[in-house]
Amino acid sequence: MSSFLRPAADQDPLISGRYRPVTSHFAIAPPVSVVIPAMNEAENLPYVFKTLPEWIHEVVLVDGNSTDDTVQVARDLWPDVKVVEQLGKGKGDALITGFAACTGEIIVMVDADGSADGNEIVSYVSALVGGADFAKGSRFANGGGTDDMTPIRKLGNRVLTSIVNHKFGARYTDLCYGYNAFWKRCLDELALDCAGFEVETLMNIRVAKAGLRVQEIPSHEFVRIHGTSNLRAVRDGLRVLHVILREHGAKRLRSRPPRLAIAPAASRGEVS
């Protein structure tokens, strides 16, 4: 590289030591924040934190007024954890609060019930530094899976995914999944405004509307380890449907079609 193309030494991530090795073959410069919404998850947090890579920049735990030791357990497990108390209610409200508190350039959303494996974070981050705006976890992309979904939830998710794909020109294989990552700069375009479990659907729709570059990441969802789900299939399914209809009726943010960074055939398990 000729010297006039080289950044000043203090701005060159290579020289200033900003690159962190994340595998033996891969180093990244952008700081990664992990946001964990948690409501009464004290028993599950040890399993969650155990899988988080040590190279992440920060963990933001959004506490939903837990009545157990969620906050104390988080502090014991990860002394630098940033704990944010949520003022409103619901997972969507918690995530919006957590995103605003992040100082990293990349944000990864991880559930606190032990269903997500933090070792997958490197796949999400690789997709983002490789050019994607939004790395969208999928249990139904080739290589993904779920131990947690009942047949009725699978059916509901499949129907809702098809509706979103049809209405918004997307090619998603999974809609209602909480393991995703994105560049913090995308938050302005997403302009999230919802309270409950419809939050992932809203994100996926706004991503498609904004024409952001999406890469699906095959992900495996494990069963919740302790406690019971906060999700109610019918109630929350209707909330998701309501968001889809509302967003479809709303004026489009932009008319650009969504770009999919991966070959859609691969994500459906087809061989070309």
Ligand X SMILES: Nc1nc2c(ncn2[C@@H]2O[C@H](COP(=O)(O)OP(=O)(O)OP(=O)(O)O)[C@@H](O)[C@H]2O)c(=O)[nH]1
Min dist. Cβ of residue 29 to ligand X (A): 29
Dist. CA 167–CA 191, nearest whole Å: 20
Q: Which of residues 87-126 bind Mg ion (CB under 5 A)?
A: 113, 115
Residue number, nearest CB to ligand X: 64
Q: Would you say 2 or 228 has its CB closer to Mg ion?
A: 228
> Which region among 24-32, 59-67, 155-163, 240-248 touches ligand X (by CB under 6 A)?
59-67
Question: Does residue 230 bind ligand X (CB under 6 A)?
Answer: yes
Question: Does residue 112 bind ligand X (CB under 6 A)?
Answer: yes
Min dist. Cβ of residue 229 to ligand X (A): 3
Question: Does residue 89 bind ligand X (CB under 6 A)?
Answer: yes
Return the one option of ligand X, Mg ion, none that residue 254 interacts with (CB less than 5 to 8 A, by type): none
Q: Would you say 133 or 200 has its CB closer to ligand X?
A: 200
Dig out the tokens for 258 from the structure.
Answer: 């969504």
- Going from the C-alpha of 49 to that of each of 65, 70, 137, 261, the distances in angstroms are 20, 12, 19, 30
Dist. CA 204–CA 177, nearest whole Å: 10
Residue choice 91, 136, 139, 209 for contact with ligand X (CB under 6 A): 91
Cβ 53 vs Cβ 22: under 8 Å = yes
Residue choice 161, 224, 240, 267 for contact with ligand X (CB under 6 A): 224
Residue choice 43, 69, 105, 148 for contact with ligand X (CB under 6 A): 148
| DSSP result, 122-163 | HHHHHHHHTT-SEEEEESSSTT-EESS--HHHHHHHHHHHHH
Dist. CA 176–CA 170, nearest whole Å: 14
Min dist. Cβ of residue 22 to Mg ion (A): 26
Dist. CA 109–CA 61, nearest whole Å: 10
Residue choice 111, 120, 174, 216 for contact with ligand X (CB under 6 A): 111
Dist. CA 221–CA 34, nearest whole Å: 17
Question: Does residue 38 bind ligand X (CB under 6 A)?
Answer: yes
Contacts of 234 (CB under 8 A, 6+ apart): none
Residues at the interface with Mg ion (CB under 5 A): 113, 115, 224
